[in-house]
Amino acid sequence: MPAAWKAPCLPEARHEPPRRRSDSGAGVRAQAARTVNAVHAGGRSLTDALAEAAASVDARDRALLHELCFGTLRLLPRLQALTGLLLKRPLKPADAILQDLMAIGLYQLTAMRIPAHAAVAATVGAVRVLERPHAAGLLNATLRRFQRESDALLAQVADDESARWLLPHWLLARLRQAWPRHWQAIVDAGNSRAPMTLRVNLLRGTRADYAAALADAGIAARPLAQLEAALQLDHPLPTERLPGFAEGKVSVQDASAQFAAQLLGAAPGERILDACAAPGGKTAHLIERTGGAAQVTALDADPERMQTLRRNLERLGLHAETVVGDAAGDHWQDGPYRRILLDAPCSATGVIRRHPDIKWLRRDADIDALAATQRAMLDNLWPHLLPGGYLLYATCSLLPEENEAQVRAFLQRHADAREVPLAIEGSEARAPGRQLFPQPDGGDGFYYALLEKAA
């Protein structure tokens, strides 16, 4: 079964990094190739692989490393199609990392403002860092050929749908089937750069006060109408530049994700379960919205991610009971709760723009396995909900099998459950629930359904 995916909300660099010394440039491109290869061939998440790689490069080069890895993985279907045309014969499996390095070189030539001669020189130099000096001539020749024939090569790969839409064929087919009127807009948004949205900790001050603090720091932001604590920045920036971040005055959280605590509607004093809680953004929001007076239990099966959740709560000055356990398993028993949030593990097809590695880590066969896990979690959590209580089911997926079809089947299995209609402006009504699509200048793709247990 595929690993459960819960994507953290990390801002993505928009700026083009400055040029570096040639030796530093070759080193950072070699690390980018290792990172992309770890995702593409090794099945690692980009978040983990990039964190490991960033620790081994100069702090000044980390923005460039980030851009090379994110950008290459975002455009990889097109870059792979180009390398297939440029190479006379496929590389040996042992040299697969060289094909990823070639993709990194092509990404610079097609999508970055780095001077072409500098990009080629630094990328070719990376073969020595990777201890494959024999490949320098091949890499130099293929990148130079692309420079000469770029228009013709790009026109040739445009006929390949995967290269054109930057998605694997199986996912493109599923999106077309599920959303015949919306799939092109969904794909375009998924290939864009995500905005950076903040959630103000209302226990530490008002949104207007924090917006004023941002303005004083020269940071432009705007409030989002449907969300009481959200501010969207005009331009992403490192969290250390956010006023009061270290003191817990604000968090980074996607706009669509901020609907979860709002839709669950918990009140002070109520017992709340946040199932699959790590890394803790929604847990913290639940506590903040109830004035710190709710009794929140955060449950997650991953001990390492639970440590991240505890650190996030500590930064914000919040407290929750934390339990390492499986929301789908019988060994964890607790309750009852007045409210339950199930942010279920899913395909994460609604957050591809933040995590382009999803294109390579997910397979068509994974969807049925994920749906089975979601079903087990819903059935296992329902007995822990008090009569008259509410369970909010959420995913960051765009696929009906994980969303409305999952909840519809649950309602058929449980006679004591009923859907509570939700109102989210700009979302698509489903039967049941609401689907939010990724927006180029807005939130990610999310699905929500609110269920009430008969009294």
Distances (CA, A) of 122 to 31, 98, 136: 12, 14, 11
Tokens at residue 237, please?
């920036």
118 Cα distance to chain centroid: 31
In 3D space, the residue among 17, 13, 32 whose CA is nearest the CA of residue 123 turns out to be: 32
Q: Report the distance separating Cα 385 and Cα 141, nearest Å.
A: 64
Distance, CA of 113 to chain centre: 26
How many CA atoms lie within 13 Å of 198's alpha carbon, on the beta-carbon side? 32
Per-residue burial over 198-214, b if 16 or more Cβ lie within 10 Å, else e, is bbbbbbbeebeebbebb
DSSP 142-201: HHHHHHHHHHHHHHHHTTSHHHHHTS-HHHHHHHHHH-TTTHHHHHHHHTSPPP-EEEE-
Tokens of 182: 């919306």
Is residue 279 classed as helix, strand or coil in its secondary structure? coil
Estimate to the nearest angstrom the gap between the alpha carbon of 406 and the chain centroid: 22
Eight-state DSSP code of residue 60: G
Selected catalytic residue, list 9, 69, 276, 396 = 396
Is residue 9 flagged as an active site residue? Answer: no
Question: Which tokens sit at 332?
Answer: 């964890």
DSSP characters for 79-147?
HHHHHHHH-SSPPPGGGHHHHHHHHHHHHHHHH--S-HHHHHHHHHHHHHHTT-GGGHHHHHHHHHHHH
In whole angstroms, give the CA distance from residue 382 to residue 351: 27
What residues are annotated to the active site?
396
